[in-house]
Amino acid sequence: MRFFHTFAVAAVAAGLCGLPAKAETTLRIAMTASDIPTTTGMPNNGFEGMRFLGYPIFEGLVLWDLAHTDRVADLRPGLAEKWEQAPDDNKTWIFHLRQGVKFHDGTDFNADAVIWNLDRYFKNDSPQYELPGSAITRARAPLLASYKKIDDATVAITTTKPASYFPYMAVYILFTSPASFAKAGNDWTKVATLPAAGTGPFRITRVAPRQEVDLARWDGYWDPNKKARLDNVVLMPIPEANTRLAALRSGQVDWIEVPPPDGIASLKASSFTITTGSYPHVWPWFYNMGAAGSPFKDVRVRQALNYCVDRAALVELLNGTAEPSAGWLKASDPNFGTPQNRYTFDAAKGKKLLAEAGFTPDKPLAFKAMISTSGSGQMSPLPMNEFIQQNLKESCGVDVTFDVVEWQILLNAGRATPDSPNLKGAMVINVSSPSSDVGVMARYFSSANFSPNGFNFEQWKDDEFDNALTTLAEANDPAIISSALRKAHERLVDNPPWLYIVHDLNPRAMSPKVKGFVSPQSWFIDLTLVSMQ
């Protein structure tokens, strides 16, 4: 009798009595990164790190709305229910915190946790100061000047100058449980493998450096409408495109970032899902204008290269997974403006500008470019850069050599000073960039954000641009903001700090078992919408 009873209970539990057990669902994703992004709550490896090991686990006061495909992603309330500028000070923002939120370790998210994390990033002598996370966060929120707790549910953050776009910077400040740091003996390297606790819809369950990170649905998530449909997610770094392709075909993974362009047709023929979509992103070369002896101090040289590149041929090489770029924004964007230059493939004009700047067939322009083997938003960097190298040589007689490095090394180079030994003499770096909002524009191009303190690697300064940025930062009238934004972008085109090459279309390849994925107009994605059949 005991045996029969035990068997019957087991049969019910296993679904043998007409109630089938629900199998756990696991989604396996191959990233382009060469290693797993850091797991302390402020991931490295660029925005791919934020995409997979940032927002799904660790959240900000402000979050992205990633549920739509028909418009560029905007902001939504996150760990703050609302925010506003202080009525008596347009440099101070008041954030009203969401109540009842718990970290994955069961501790409370509150104003003390906010201040503790801000000290982690912005207070060099705090016990919890984390240098790598601080460098990333300060570069993404360079205007943050001070902060204070008003009460348990309210904090104030003050910027160095008025900035109507500051919430677009606050979205990149993520929060980790202070208890994670204490549990690790006040050692961030140990926090990374605990794993660390956030507040997001997924929690980290296992970290295997250079191999994978395992996530599980967080059933205690504060938003009942955004609880994950997947039980588990496995994130694997596979930097080589053809290796990712093989992993998808063999069933090792269910989803790959950036399939190789020449493999897309065969994937479609084999019933794999290919997703693409326009999103705010540009794949450029950054000119090192500040280096001693840089040829890019001359605007004619910077403009010339923008006329020398055959973008349409590159798009064809990429099997249509990108579109030509003529500026930081897409030409179809209403804020593109009406610049004097409209960059198309015009080798004659490019050569004329180079000759005016002193570069002729007898004295050709020659320089080194630092590029990566893979990385977040880097698309297919080696064949793309080899195409541009050959294109520039054939169209305008320009000689380009490459220094090929790992993605994180290239990111670090982007925060170097112009003559830093880390650049090894490079006059160009190839780092893909978001173009999602004015906050990003300010980070990359304001003269107040020269490297190493900000993302203005080129150390580009344009007074008309800075004046337009100040106007829109201080304005509340949408018409004034839009007019100033158009003016600012016109300067980015006519006085280009970058060689604008393509805007990519965010290609991914997935098993047909993957359901519910939304490709938003953003670098980031909402994994809570995804399920497995």
Q: For residue 14, is pLDDT > 60?
A: no
- Look at residue 249 in the predicted model and tell me its pLDDT: 98
Q: What's the whole-number mean pLDDT along residues 291-306? A: 98
Q: How confident is the model at residue 24 (pLDDT cuts 50, 70, 90)?
A: very high
Q: Which two tokens stand for residue 382?
A: 């080696």
Q: How confident is the model at residue 505 (pLDDT cuts 50, 70, 90)?
A: very high
Tens of pLDDT, residue by residue over 138-189, are: 999 999 999 999 999 999 999 999 999 999 999 999 999 999 999 999 999 9
Total count of residues recorded for the chain: 533
> Taking the alpha carbons of 498, 499, 505, 509 in that order, is the dihedral positive or negative?
negative
One domain, residues 517 and 439 = no
- Look at residue 13 in the predicted model and tell me its pLDDT: 38
Q: Is residue 380 part of a domain?
A: yes
- Look at residue 6 in the predicted model and tell me its pLDDT: 34
One domain, residues 349 and 206 = no
- Look at residue 21 in the predicted model and tell me its pLDDT: 57
One domain, residues 491 and 519 = no
CB 443 within 8 A of CB 414: no
One domain, residues 226 and 286 = no
pTM across the whole model: 0.89
One domain, residues 87 and 236 = yes
By C-alpha distance, which of 76, 175, 162 is closest to 442?
162
One domain, residues 326 and 450 = yes
- What CATH number did the domain enclosing 163 receive? 3.40.190.10
One domain, residues 453 and 518 = no
Q: Which of the residue ranges 11-25, 159-173, 466-480, 484-498 would you say has the lowest mean pLDDT?
A: 11-25
- Look at residue 8 in the predicted model and tell me its pLDDT: 36
- Look at residue 335 in the predicted model and tell me its pLDDT: 95
Q: Is residue 252 part of a domain?
A: no
Q: Is residue 4 part of a domain?
A: no
Q: Is residue 39 part of a domain?
A: yes
Q: What one-character DSSP code corresponds to residue 60?
A: -
Tens of pLDDT, residue by residue over 452-464, are: 888 999 999 999 9
Non-local (6+) Cβ contacts of 245 within 8 A are: 256, 259, 260, 263, 267, 509
Q: How confident is the model at residue 254 (pLDDT cuts 50, 70, 90)?
A: very high
Q: What's the whole-number mean pLDDT along residues 243-256? A: 98
Counting beta carbons within 10 angstroms of the beta carbon of residue 61, is it exposed (0 to 12), middle (13 to 18) or buried (19 or more)? buried
Report which residue type is found at 382.
L
- Look at residue 454 in the predicted model and tell me its pLDDT: 83
CB 463 within 8 A of CB 446: no
Q: What is the per-residue burial (b if ≥16 Cβ within 10 Å, else e) of 458-468?
A: bbbbbeebbeb
Percent of the chain residues topping a pLDDT of 90: 91
Q: What's the whole-number mean pLDDT along residues 250-257? A: 98
Split into its structural domains, the chain has a count of: 2
Q: What's the whole-number mean pLDDT along residues 303-316? A: 98
Tens of pLDDT, residue by residue over 373-407, are: 998 889 999 999 999 999 999 999 999 999 999 99
CB 355 within 8 A of CB 347: no
One domain, residues 60 and 120 = yes
Q: What's the whole-number mean pLDDT along residues 510-524? A: 96
One domain, residues 222 and 315 = no
Q: How confident is the model at residue 15 (pLDDT cuts 50, 70, 90)?
A: very low
Q: What's the whole-number mean pLDDT along residues 425-432? A: 97
Q: Is residue 210 part of a domain?
A: yes
Q: How confident is the model at residue 476 (pLDDT cuts 50, 70, 90)?
A: confident
Q: What's the whole-number mean pLDDT along residues 478-489? A: 95
One domain, residues 515 and 427 = no
Q: Is residue 251 part of a domain?
A: no
- Look at residue 22 in the predicted model and tell me its pLDDT: 66
By C-alpha distance, which of 164, 202, 170, 177 is closest to 29?
202
Q: Which domain holds residue 457?
A: 281-504
One domain, residues 356 and 479 = yes
Q: What one-character DSSP code corresponds to residue 360?
A: B
- Look at residue 10 in the predicted model and tell me its pLDDT: 38
Average pLDDT of every residue of the chain: 94
Q: Is residue 21 part of a domain?
A: no
Tens of pLDDT, residue by residue over 224-248, are: 999 999 999 999 999 999 999 999 9
Q: Is residue 235 part of a domain?
A: yes
Rounded Cα distance between 131 and 113, Å, is 19
Q: Which two tokens stand for residue 270?
A: 């084999």
Tens of pLDDT, residue by residue over 117-126, are: 999 999 999 9
One domain, residues 410 and 469 = yes
Q: Which two tokens stand for residue 209?
A: 């450096």
Tell me if residue 499 falls in helix, strand or coil. strand
Q: For residue 471, is pLDDT > 60?
A: yes
Percent of the chain residues topping a pLDDT of 70: 96
Tens of pLDDT, residue by residue over 328-344, are: 999 999 999 999 999 99
How far the first Cα of the chain sits from its last, in Å, is: 39
- Look at residue 12 in the predicted model and tell me its pLDDT: 35
- What CATH number did the domain enclosing 334 receive? 3.10.105.10
